[in-house]
């Protein structure tokens, strides 16, 4: 990056943080806000408070550490207000390339060794691809074909936590927080986005959410369309010519019984290395049981059966109009990959999972500030080449104090070869399913 471009980027970053400062509350929070966001973008390795303090105030690491720690763990500013401001500032950059097309709901997890961090529980961990001690968050992102941005971020709190008064007190969990399933949290986030007047899009979800009929009905009640991945076991009835209903059967059995001419090869997007193409079929169906005939509405069952596979691999239910073009339907269904890119970059580039505190407030403050930093990178994509030598996340990095080493870091001479923070693919559960051929990174 040339000096002029670097200076212009610094100026834009200052203006961006200035916008956040206007909603953060007390004026004395402005400096730690800028320091924390700068640390998330400029620090290398783990983005815990101490390394970020060393990057942003190398001559006064201890004092900066205390300021940043208090700001993220204790200061009573509103995550919702800050996220709304991030959305307000970043949305124009996204919409320059077209309107918002999708709202994507999903969850991601952070492995934890101990048992004291708020919400930690033995549950499915997408990052590890197995049951493990971890924290899980539910998010809602807005997206078009140019970019996507998380606009809601909420920790899933297992019932064991909500019913344990001692743990709640120690983690400073607000009294109003009660147990909710992940689909219930997701529906709350969607309702809040509707109430806030967020530009609407088709709601996309994976099978961990799409299999919940109450969530699908809740989305429809808000006058939103959805394309929801489902399990092959979901029962449907094909709507035949004249509006007659076929026998009730699993989505898989219906797919296997379709004639050859029902399948069509569709190319929906150019991937990193090749065109993304597969075989699909779509059928008008009803899903509600016969005893609830008054609630039955027609939907489109979209099925993917790639050539060479023994059976179909993916199923979706869609409430988009029946007149929606086949390629458009496939393209919208496949847009859910963007949330995977969000998670990957937020974790690897911003340090979303690096928070070391144990409390509710700090956990959510850190997530909000990571999303804020990520929003700045999104807004910079057009001004700084994503793969250039001064990639979109590059900010000024003051020299570290001589001999500085974060607490707990190995002695350099004996340091093991660093391991990448990888995402492990999984075909079940929530987020963290990486699609390497569909995820261009902001920087390399």
Residues 211, 191 within the same domain: no
Residues 243, 299 within the same domain: yes
Residues 12, 138 within the same domain: yes
Residues 11, 66 within the same domain: yes
Name the residue among 208, 268, 213 with its Cα closest to residue 235.
Answer: 213
Residues 131, 154 within the same domain: yes
pLDDT for 381 equals 81
**C-alpha distances in angstroms, 214 versus 181, 218, 221, 228, 229?**
12, 6, 10, 12, 14
pTM of the predicted protein model: 0.84
In angstroms, the CA 387 to CA 393 distance is: 10
> For residue 413, is it within any domain?
no
Contact 111, 92 (CB under 8 A): no
Name the residue among 395, 342, 359 with its Cα closest to residue 17.
Answer: 395
Among residues 308, 335, 362, the one where a domain terminates is 335
pLDDT for 186 equals 98
> For residue 415, is it within any domain?
no
Residues 357, 255 within the same domain: no
Residues 40, 176 within the same domain: yes
Residues forming a β-bridge with 318: 227, 300
Structural domain of 108: 3-204+338-403+421-438
Contact 372, 351 (CB under 8 A): no
**C-alpha distances in angstroms, 296 versus 57, 281, 285, 287, 387?**
61, 22, 10, 7, 49
Residues 26, 63 within the same domain: yes
pLDDT for 141 equals 98
pLDDT for 272 equals 61
> For residue 369, is it within any domain?
yes
Half-sphere exposure (Cβ direction) of 195: Cα atoms closer than 13 Å: 7
Among residues 335, 365, 388, the one where a domain terminates is 335
pLDDT for 33 equals 96
Residues 309, 163 within the same domain: no
pLDDT for 115 equals 85
> For residue 298, is it within any domain?
yes
Residues 158, 21 within the same domain: yes
> For residue 131, is it within any domain?
yes
> For residue 408, is it within any domain?
no
pLDDT tens sequence for the chain (444 residues): 556 667 788 899 999 999 999 999 888 999 999 999 999 999 888 999 999 999 999 999 999 999 999 999 999 999 999 999 999 999 999 999 999 999 999 999 999 988 889 999 999 888 888 999 999 999 999 999 999 999 999 999 999 999 999 999 999 999 999 999 999 999 999 999 999 999 999 999 999 999 999 999 999 999 999 999 999 999 999 998 777 899 999 999 999 999 999 999 999 876 666 788 999 999 999 997 655 545 568 999 999 999 999 999 999 999 999 999 999 999 999 999 999 989 999 999 999 999 999 999 999 999 999 999 999 999 988 665 444 444 444 444 444 444 433 433 333 333 332 332 323 333 333 433 333 333 333 332
Residues 262, 367 within the same domain: no
Contact 262, 283 (CB under 8 A): yes
Residues 6+ apart with CB under 8 A from 156: 107, 119, 135, 136, 137, 138, 180, 182, 185
Tokens representing residue 373 in the block: 């930093």
> For residue 268, is it within any domain?
yes
Among residues 335, 368, 383, the one where a domain terminates is 335
Residues 279, 428 within the same domain: no
> For residue 308, is it within any domain?
yes
**How many CB atoms are closer than 10 A to CB 149?**
22
Number of domains in the chain: 2
pLDDT for 181 equals 97
């Amino acid at each position: 990056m040339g000096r002029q471009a670097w200076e212009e980027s610094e100026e834009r970053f200052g203006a961006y943080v200035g916008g956040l400062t206007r909603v953060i509350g007390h004026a004395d929070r402005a400096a730690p806000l800028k320091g924390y966001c700068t640390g998330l973008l400029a620090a290398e390795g783990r983005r815990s408070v101490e390394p970020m303090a060393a990057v942003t105030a190398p001559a006064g690491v201890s004092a900066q550490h205390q300021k940043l720690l208090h700001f993220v763990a204790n200061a009573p500013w509103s995550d919702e207000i800050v996220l709304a401001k991030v959305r307000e500032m970043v949305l124009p950059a996204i919409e320059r390339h077209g309107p918002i097309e999708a709202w994507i709901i999903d969850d991601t997890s952070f492995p934890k060794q101990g048992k004291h961090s708020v919400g930690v529980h033995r549950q499915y961990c997408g990052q590890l691809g197995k049951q493990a001690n971890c924290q899980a968050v539910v998010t809602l992102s807005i997206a078009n074909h140019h970019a996507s941005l998380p606009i809601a971020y909420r920790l899933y709190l297992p019932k064991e936590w909500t019913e344990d008064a001692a743990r709640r007190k120690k983690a400073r969990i607000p009294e109003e927080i009660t147990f909710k399933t992940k689909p219930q949290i997701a529906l709350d986030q969607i309702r809040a986005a509707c109430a806030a007047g967020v530009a609407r899009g088709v709601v996309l979800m994976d099978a961990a959410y799409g299999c919940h009929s109450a969530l699908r009905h809740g989305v429809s009640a808000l006058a939103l369309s959805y394309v929801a991945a489902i399990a092959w076991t979901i029962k449907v009835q094909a709507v035949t010519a004249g509006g007659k209903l076929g026998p009730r059967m699993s989505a898989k059995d219906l797919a296997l019984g379709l004639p050859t001419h029902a399948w069509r090869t569709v190319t929906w997007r150019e991937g990193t290395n090749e065109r993304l193409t597969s075989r699909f079929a779509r059928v008008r169906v009803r899903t509600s049981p016969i005893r609830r005939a008054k609630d039955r509405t027609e939907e489109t069952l979209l099925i993917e059966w790639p050539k060479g596979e023994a059976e179909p691999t993916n199923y979706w239910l869609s409430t988009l109009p029946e007149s929606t073009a086949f390629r458009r339907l496939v393209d919208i269904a496949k847009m859910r990959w963007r949330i995977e890119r969000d998670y990957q970059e937020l974790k690897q580039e911003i340090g979303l999972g690096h928070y070391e505190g144990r409390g509710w407030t700090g956990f959510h403050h850190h997530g909000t500030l990571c999303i804020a930093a990520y929003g700045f990178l999104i807004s910079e994509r057009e001004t700084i080449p994503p793969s250039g030598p001064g990639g979109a996340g590059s900010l000024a990095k003051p020299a570290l104090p001589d001999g500085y080493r974060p607490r707990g870091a190995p002695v350099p001479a004996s340091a093991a070869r660093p391991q990448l923070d990888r995402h492990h693919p999984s075909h079940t559960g929530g987020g963290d399913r990486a699609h390497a051929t569909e995820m261009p990174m902001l920087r390399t």
